[in-house]
Structure 1
């Protein structure tokens, strides 16, 4: 398909058929060309090559907020496993973004939970066995905190509360050193 337009002495020709640089149609002008792959489309604007990462992966600044949050949960879970090795040996620790049915909780006026624990579920004919688990919700915790230090403390506090609920003991007995030092 061609479109010709003229305005005074100037002429403009637009063609939707593939052509080489001389304006001659290419031999496979009837064939549909393959789309470029994602790697070829991705940010190679001026032919200088693809962009690389701004911060190398070996530096701490390259970690995302969710990865940093997961690190805090792992640190707290390791502390709990060191304190209660036999009782927490089979417990799985899970980081979830938000709790289930968050919209309904907010609509009812209830505060969003920061974590939950689930006891082991035995296998049935319909479902396989599930190990005990402790879930920590990232977004509600981060919404309550202003600084990374507050996030660290709240993650550990939620972990202590969930372990206490799972073990059915007082939270002060779970981690005797928690909140005993002003810098912690």
Structure 2
């Protein structure tokens, strides 16, 4: 059974429900999946790879957890090895899951504290503010991440119960240590 990209977008919207819509682009080679806040362009690139392009909302990062076979790139997501042979509904499930991963936001910002000078001070901050917090660092610390093409200088340290990781963001870092290197 053959289907088009707009067919795939409509099927993904059916799975997403809750205010999502789709709209075919001219010639049936792409479609937009959108809600009141965000839009995703679903298409196939010149190398025949299925992609989902979007512009992140302010403060939104690439998803940290994606469905199997979905890979993040700076402009969105692509689906490794996806093929029409996978079937409309199997691909629609994957597209819907990728959209859901991209729009899932962290429930609350991470507390930011003054830079501690001792481990006891850091421990007191955890007791007061919770298991995960951040603070500005003053030394040069390089941060390596799949989100950066080159290493960046960290500006914040993320601490989870005393375990620390650098972060390169100028806003308070994301809420979990595995998400610590962001721009």
Q: Do Structure 1 and Structure 2 share a fold, with TM-score over 0.5? A: no
Q: Normalising to structure 1: TM-score of the pair? A: 0.29
The structure having more radius of gyration, on CA atoms, is: 1
Q: Normalising to structure 2: TM-score of the pair? A: 0.29
